[in-house]
Structure 1
Amino acid sequence: MSSWRFLVSRRWILFFLAVIVLAYGTWWLGEWQFGRLDDRRDNNAIIEANESDDPVPVGDVLAAGRSVSKGDEYTVIEATGTYDVDDSLIVRYRTRDGAPGVDVVVPLVTADGTAVVVDRGWIETDDPRFDPVADAPSPPSGEVTITGWVRADGEGDSTYVSDGGMRAISSEAIGEALDREVYGGFVELLSEDPAPTDSLEPAEKPDLGEGPHFFYGLQWWFFGVLAMGGFGYLAYDERKNGPRGQRPRAGGAAPAEPAE
């Protein structure tokens, strides 16, 4: 057997450094996936605790100009007011089971004039000119008491309100578009009292699965172990049999040395 001295050659040192970088990268990516798994579990615990509690007054959770905290997501609130149907909006490009549709958003104006942004639910449609006032089931008229899940505002360009709609809900953007004071965040409707004549499809229950993060984390770590194991195997093979380009061919002599 040959010695291990070939490992201090430039080629093997660079190879070793590349493997170290690769192994560190896969370790970091694995840790990142497990961190996302921990976040998902924490969020699920908050949702499970909040969604099963009794409703609390909207003012105990939401306030005008204040963002929804992570711990308040999916808290069940109760609010009383009057729907301003003329200010109805739609959330575009919402699909369910492959069917196109929109969510219908209507502000519920409370006694002090502050409005709760209420996502009343989903309706199937592929009409680009869908009118939430004329085409969607009407909410109860007069004073109504609602319960619903608290949700945090969306972010980015998708929240921009134009032509009566947007792609994601932001109370701030809606308040500016409608020129009215609104509570921060929005509410996904659970119930209305009195009940409407016709209802929209209610909000889908939150996904409490853990996702693929655990297996992705293991996969990244496996790649790192594979890289280090591959380095060890190739080093052992070269120590035992010599450099691949200088090994005897099967049934023949060793490769000729290049002419000087």
Structure 2
Amino acid sequence: MTVVKERYAFLKTFIAIALVFLCLWAAQWQYHRGVERHAHNNLIVEQSRLPEVKLSELTGNIDSFEWRKITIQGSFDDKNQILLRNRYSEGVYGFEQLTLFAFDGRKIWVDRGWIKAGSNATIPPQLQKTNENIVNISGRLRLDSSLPQGKFFAVSNNAQRDLISQLDARNGIQTEEFYVDLISVSDTSMNPDVPVELPELSDGPHMAYALQWIFFGALSIYGRRLIRRTA
């Protein structure tokens, strides 16, 4: 009986093993992404359910209070407002309006929610009302690192409300290392029309993808054995 030696057996085995390791690495990566996302979602839920507190009552590292509901007393600075581009609400294009807020000698950006874009690129959007009276604001504390980076439209305070493109939102302004997603204002005329909502708290498909990659790894082993038998 003549034994036919399989051609390139070592190369085929090496490729199969490499595919198995690649699939296991991808499965592990997806698994850890799923775990991290689940933990992040739990953090948002836990923090957002805690009772509202004054910002001055928070002590320690500010990072540990992200998503906590806080209140601050101060005033809006309508001379410093910015619009974040490419924001949608129920499929309608618009902006997020951020206004500088001053309190106790400090400054932060306050995200006042979504506003509809003008009817065309040359018409500025209708900004939400602002005045410089002392007010109490209620909102969720957000870390500055989560504020979208890059260039924004800036809004001047003149009658034309000129839009100046490609102006860094924080150029020349010293602010705190956090900002606030506005929920409400003691002066209800300044309440956001479309406030910033909590992100979608879904764990996503990461665990399913992890199992899928394990299946692909097993399929690589099965495929190698099948090729060997039919060689």
Matched residue, 1:57: 54
2:16 aligns with one of 12, 19, 31: 19
Aligned residues between the structures: 221
Matches of 1:185 and 1:234, distance apart in 2: 59
Aligned partner of 1:41 in structure 2 is: 38
Which segments of 5 or more consecutive residues in structure 2 lack a partner in the other structure? Answer: 156-162
Q: Is the 8 A contact 2:183 2:192 kept in 1?
A: no
Moved more, 202-211 or 34-43: 202-211
Instruction: Write 1 or 2 for the structure with the bigger share of strand.
Output: 2
2:194 paired residue number: 201
* Structure 1 residue 102 displacement after superposition: 0.3
Q: Please, which moves more after superposition, 89-98 or 151-160?
A: 151-160
Q: Which runs of 5+ in 1 are unaligned?
A: 168-172, 239-260
> What SS does structure 2 have at the residue aligned with 1:210?
coil
Alpha-carbon spacing, 1:163–1:90, altered in 2? closer, same or farther (3 Å): closer
Structure 2 CA distance, aligned partners of 1:46 and 1:97? 26
The structure 1 residue matched to 2:151, chosen from 160, 173, 180, is 160
Match of 1:77 in 2: 70
TM-score by length of 2: 0.83
Write out aligned runs for 1:42-191 (5 A): 42-59=39-56, 69=63, 71-110=64-103, 112-126=104-118, 127-129=120-122, 131=124, 135-139=126-130, 141-154=132-145, 158-161=149-152, 163-164=154-155, 174-175=169-170, 177=171, 179-191=172-184
Percent of residue pairs identical: 24
Distance 2:217 2:80 in 1: 56
Q: Relative to structure 1, is the Cα distance of residues 45 and 82 closer, same or farther in structure 2, using a 3 angstrom cutoff?
A: same
1:156 shift after superposition: 10
**Hey, what does 1:32 align to over in structure 2?**
29
Larger radius of gyration: 1
Are residues 234 and 2 of structure 1, via their aligned partners in 2, closer, same or farther at CA, if it must alter by over 3 Å? farther
Whichever residue aligns with residue 53 of structure 1, its letter is L
Deviations 1:98-123, CA, capped at 9 Å, x for gaps: 2100011011110x221121001101
State the 1:222 CA deviation: 1.2
1:138-178 superposed Cα distances (whole Å, 9 cap, x missing partner): 135511111111222347994335644899xxxxx644x2x
Give runs of ≥4 in structure 1 deviating > 3 Å.
Answer: 59-63, 126-132, 154-158, 160-167
Instruction: Tell me, in whole angstroms, the C-alpha distance in 2 between the residues paired with 1:222 and 1:166.
Output: 53
- 1:60 and 1:174 map into 2 onto residues whose CA distance is 29
Letter in 2 for 1:142: N
Question: What TM-score, normalized to structure 1?
Answer: 0.74
SS at match of 2:79: helix
Contact 1:92 1:166 in 2 (8 A): no
CA distance in 1, matches of 2:205, 2:188: 40
